[in-house]
Amino acid sequence: MRGLTGKVAIVTGAGSPNGIGFACAKRLCEEGVRVLLTDIVPDGAEKQASELRAAGFDATATVQDVTDEKGWDEVIGLAVARWGQVDILVNNAGVSIAAPATEMTLDQFTRQIDLNVISVFLGSRAAMRQMRAQGKGGAIVNMSSVAAFVTGAGSSAYAASKAAVHMYSKTLALEGAAEGIRVNTVHPGITNTNMVAKAFSEAPESIQTMASAIPALRMAAPREIAAAAAFLASDDASYCIGSSLLVDGGVLLQ
């Protein structure tokens, strides 16, 4: 992909070996990007970064709670101290807690808003300020979901949070456009990660039933979502501003 070599990226929620975040970090590294992986799990991101370094890539890691405002200054500072700039942010960390709306606790609802929406606000703001100061544009990729457009019983908070990411990103895209700071969203369908394993932990056998209802007849692999994120971060997407890239195996066609 054009324009990625030598860039500096931050990818959040990148500490799970089979997660979308790590897949994004790996794909960006393969495209010649220097990557700071972050995750709330102690050693999670560091373990993944060391795997990338062992493969010859320039990657480092830090522990971060993406809902912590001050932590964002530290994360941006870390990338700048090491590489002098921040060109790409992938706001990937997120959570899904399913419960019927009448059973959902306030804690469950606010956790999803904090982790899926407030984190995107804090991260995008911090990155955009840094990119603006650098004066040479940048790319912010926010991980939304098909749940921004369609929902299911039990997903009230998650769908609301991902719809918020979708529209928040569009406004941000408008505000950054003239400076070459492009903001776009990726909308994965069901992807084979721990998030899905957890959601189906009580009935793992129904994963296959669910997958067979997808037009593609399977879940996405994390690398298929990462490819979309890398494209939006690259100069190949230079005219994508506020776009919403569906990577859903055809789910929204039905």
Residues with catalytic function: 158
Pick out residues in 193-252 that bind ligand NAD (CB under 6 A).
193-196
For the beta carbon of residue 226, count every other beta carbon within 10 angstroms.
26
Among 9, 139, 143, 159, indicate the residue that binds ligand NAD (CB under 6 A): 143
Q: Does 13 bind ligand NAD (CB under 6 A)?
A: yes
Sheet containing 244-247: order of strands:
59-63, 34-39, 8-11, 88-91, 138-143, 181-188, 244-247
* Stretch of residues binding ligand NAD (CB under 6 A), selected from 28-36, 39-47, 121-129, 237-245: 39-47
Which H, E and C letters describe 136-203, residue by residue? Answer: CCEEEEEECCHHHCCCCCCCHHHHHHHHHHHHHHHHHHHHHHHHCEEEEEEEECCECCHHHHHHCCCC
The answer to whether the beta carbons of residues 221 and 191 sit under 8 Å apart is: yes
Binding flag, residue 94, ligand NAD (CB under 6 A): yes
Q: Which stretch binds ligand NAD (CB under 6 A): 25-33, 102-110, 132-140, 183-191?
A: 183-191
Q: Locate 149 and state its tokens.
A: 């457009």
Residue number, 121 or 177, with CB nearest to ligand NAD? 121
Taking the complex as a whole, the smallest distance from the CB of residue 219 to ligand NAD amounts, in Å, to 7
CA nearest neighbour of 20 among 168, 184, 199, 143: 143
Please check whether residue 21 is in contact with residue 66, taking contact to mean a CB–CB distance below 8 angstroms. Answer: no
- Which is closer to ligand NAD, CB of 20 or CB of 28? 20
Q: Residue 41, interface with ligand NAD (CB under 6 A)?
A: yes
Closest-approach residue to ligand NAD (CB): 94
Residues near ligand NAD (CB under 6 A): 12-13, 15-16, 19-21, 39-41, 44, 64-67, 92-96, 115, 143, 145, 188, 190-191, 193-196
